[in-house]
């Protein structure tokens, strides 16, 4: 249970930092440094998604005795769907997030991902808020 609490806290902190980055990204005052803010938000998204998936993996292990072999985001999401931790719609949105994860190779792709970050964040936050881990 201690490991689950650590993963929960790490995911919570990462979600909060991503929220801060997204607020900066929304403000038009930063146009002269937009690309830097956008790229920072994308990096924060990558860190957050990793922490979120690690939390779900540990949650599956400790609450349902489901062990996923190796770092396999698709397997974690499928197991969460099977255990009804996430809905079909959330599964689809998280699968899109995993596809965007680490996929920046040019400015156009970065711009597309930066627009999707808001949707990715909302679905992660919704799931995270639904799963309560007490101390």
27-68 pLDDT, tens digit per residue, is: 766 667 888 888 889 999 999 999 999 999 999 999 999 999
Q: How many domains does the chain have?
A: 1
Domain contains 135:
no
By residue range, what is the domain housing residue 28? 2-130
The pLDDT score that the predictor gives to residue 57 is: 97
Measured distance between the N- and C-terminal CA atoms of the chain, rounded to whole angstroms? 9
pLDDT digits (tens, 9 = 90+) for 94-131: 999 998 886 666 667 888 888 899 999 999 999 999 99
The pLDDT score that the predictor gives to residue 106 is: 61
CB 135 within 8 A of CB 1: no
Domain contains 126:
yes
The pLDDT score that the predictor gives to residue 48 is: 96
Task: Quote the pTM value.
Answer: 0.90
| CATH code of the domain covering residue 108 | 1.20.120.330
Domain contains 43:
yes
CB 60 within 8 A of CB 66: yes
């Amino acid at each position: 249970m201690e490991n689950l609490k650590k993963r929960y806290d790490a995911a919570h902190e990462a979600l909060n930092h991503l929220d801060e980055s997204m607020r900066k990204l929304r403000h038009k005052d930063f146009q002269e440094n937009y690309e830097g803010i956008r790229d920072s938000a994308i990096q924060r998204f990558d860190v957050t998604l990793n922490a979120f998936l690690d939390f779900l993996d540990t949650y599956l292990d400790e609450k349902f005795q489901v062990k996923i072999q190796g770092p396999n985001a698709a397997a974690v999401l499928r197991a969460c769907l099977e255990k009804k931790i996430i809905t079909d719609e959330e599964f689809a949105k998280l699968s899109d997030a995993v596809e965007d994860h680490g996929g920046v190779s040019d400015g156009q792709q970065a711009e597309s991902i930066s627009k999707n970050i808001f949707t990715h964040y909302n679905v992660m936050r919704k799931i995270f808020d639904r799963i309560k881990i007490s101390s």
